């Protein structure tokens, strides 16, 4: 059933971000889930909608509505998974390019969630009925490592590690142009594109977004780079690299409008490494997924045609 919470902001909580304030008040909701509820207009401040970044004030009246969970519409499907790690608490898969992470309008089946539901009968329910166990996501045409929680404790702990930046996520990409420096940081807020709500953009009133990059190899007009996410905004790496004129090759939404010599079905972006602390044992896990074949072919071509 639908749940509602009401709070009056006390002096000790003044100037906290709205999403942080609510995540401290409601223990069984992750901060990312609260951010989604705020974005979907389920949170009111003094009868007004505010953004996640809103700083609460003394005596603000905060109302949050948590909609009733709908019946599960994602069906288990026998789809092959490349499982890199699995135990009683979590699964880490190497998602292929072209696979959608979870069902959405227009994509009801064939997703990672459909495959996970077939493989595993018990998953964390925190992500909602269409995102069971999904701690974070990857774009359809981004390949690589993705964490799935089998229980709520694991989901909460992994979400906390992502929020605190304890969990580290590394990517590899091939971008247009020759980076001037060997290492760098892109620190630009990201929000919805005002002209196209399906896309993201650099926005002054957007949410904080930080990406570290490191050049691995140079090919004249192209650069092979490693990237580390310090935050996890939608399309973050793609938007950030595009904003510095180094869009990712094969990215039809944000990348350069050029003809690349190797046939591609999507962007050359791969989530190749995850470092996290196991939520039960506290052991440090470091997992690596090698670049897929099409990525390797692109690198081989560039290395022989410098």
Could you read off the pLDDT of 21-36 as tens digits, one per residue?
998 888 777 787 898 8
Strands 90-95 vs 143-149: parallel, antiparallel or unpaired: antiparallel
Look at residue 22 in the predicted model and tell me its pLDDT. Answer: 93
**Statement: residue 277 has pLDDT above 70:** yes
Residue 260 lies in a domain: yes
Condensed to tens digits (0 to 9), the pLDDT of residues 180-203 reads 999 999 999 998 887 886 789 999
Q: Is pLDDT larger for residue 64 or for residue 73?
A: 64
Q: Is pLDDT larger for residue 173 or for residue 120?
A: 173
Residue 42 lies in a domain: yes
Q: Where are the beta strands (DSSP E) in 104-167?
A: 143-149
Q: Is pLDDT larger for residue 105 or for residue 138?
A: 138
> Cα-flanking dihedrals φ and ψ of residue 166, to 5°?
-70, -40
> Cα-flanking dihedrals φ and ψ of residue 213, to 5°?
-130, 155
Q: Of 38, 65, 92, which one is at a domain's C-terminal end? A: 65
Q: What is the CATH number of the domain that holds 19?
A: 3.10.290.10
Which run of H or of E encompasses 186?
strand 183-187
Mean pLDDT computed over every residue of the chain: 92
Q: Of 65, 87, 113, which one is at a domain's C-terminal end? A: 65
Q: What is the rounded CA–CA span in Å between residue 15 and residue 287?
A: 38
pLDDT band of 107, cuts 50, 70, 90: confident
Residue 156 lies in a domain: no
Q: What is the rounded CA–CA span in Å between residue 74 and residue 134?
A: 13
Condensed to tens digits (0 to 9), the pLDDT of residues 35-58 reads 889 988 899 999 888 988 999 999
Q: Of 65, 84, 103, which one is at a domain's C-terminal end? A: 65
Look at residue 73 in the predicted model and tell me its pLDDT. Answer: 65
Residue 203 lies in a domain: yes
Residue 222 lies in a domain: yes
pLDDT band of 105, cuts 50, 70, 90: low
Q: What is the rounded CA–CA span in Å between residue 13 and residue 8?
A: 10
Catalytic residue among 139, 205, 251, 293: 139
Q: What is the CATH number of the domain that holds 174?
A: 3.30.2350.10
**Statement: residue 70 has pLDDT above 60:** no
Look at residue 166 in the predicted model and tell me its pLDDT. Answer: 96
Answer yes or no: 122 catalytic: no
Tokens (6 digits) for 113 = 């969630």
Look at residue 117 in the predicted model and tell me its pLDDT. Answer: 92
**Statement: residue 87 has pLDDT above 80:** yes
pLDDT band of 159, cuts 50, 70, 90: very high
Residues in a beta bridge with 284: 277
Look at residue 72 in the predicted model and tell me its pLDDT. Answer: 46
Residue 243 lies in a domain: yes
Structural domain count of the chain: 2
Residue 77 lies in a domain: no
Condensed to tens digits (0 to 9), the pLDDT of residues 229-254 reads 999 999 999 999 999 999 999 999 99
Residues in a beta bridge with 276: 285
Residue 257 lies in a domain: yes
Write the burial class of residue 153 (CB in 10 Å: 0-12 exposed, 13-18 middle, 19+ buried).
middle
Mean pLDDT calculated for residue range 293-302: 97
Strands 222-229 vs 210-218: parallel, antiparallel or unpaired: antiparallel
CA geometry: angle at 202 spanning 134 and 262, to 5°? 70
Domain with 46 in it: 3-65
Report pTM.
0.78
């Amino acid at each position: 059933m639908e749940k509602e919470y009401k709070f009056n902001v006390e002096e000790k909580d003044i100037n906290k971000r709205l999403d942080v304030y609510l995540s401290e008040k409601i223990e069984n909701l992750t901060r990312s889930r609260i951010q989604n509820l705020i974005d979907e207009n389920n949170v009111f401040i003094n009868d007004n909608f505010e953004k996640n970044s809103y700083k609460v004030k003394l005596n603000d009246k905060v109302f949050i509505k948590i909609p009733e969970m709908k019946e599960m519409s994602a069906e288990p499907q026998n789809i092959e998974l490349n499982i890199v790690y699995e135990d009683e608490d979590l699964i880490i898969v190497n998602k292929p390019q072209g696979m959608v992470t979870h069902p959405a309008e227009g994509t009801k089946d064939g997703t990672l969630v459909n495959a996970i539901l077939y493989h595993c009968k018990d998953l964390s329910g925190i992500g909602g009925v269409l995102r069971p166990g999904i701690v974070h996501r990857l774009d359809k045409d981004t390949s690589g490592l993705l964490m799935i929680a089998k229980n709520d404790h694991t989901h909460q702990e992994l979400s906390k590690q992502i929020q605190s930046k304890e969990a580290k996520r590394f990517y590899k990409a091939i971008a247009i142009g020759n980076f001037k420096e060997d290492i760098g940081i892109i620190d630009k807020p990201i929000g919805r594109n005002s002209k196209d709500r399906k896309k993201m953009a650099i926005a002054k009133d957007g949410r904080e977004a930080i990406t570290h990059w490191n050049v691995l190899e140079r090919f004249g007009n192209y650069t092979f780079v490693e990237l580390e996410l310090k935050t996890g905004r939608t399309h973050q790496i793609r938007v950030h690299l595009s904003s510095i004129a180094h869009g990712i090759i094969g990215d039809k939404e944000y990348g350069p409008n050029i003809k690349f010599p190797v046939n591609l079905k999507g962007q050359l972006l791969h989530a190749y490494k995850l470092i996290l602390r196991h939520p039960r044992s506290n052991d440090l896990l470091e997992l690596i997924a090698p670049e897929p074949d099409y990525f390797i072919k692109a690198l081989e071509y560039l290395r022989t045609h410098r």
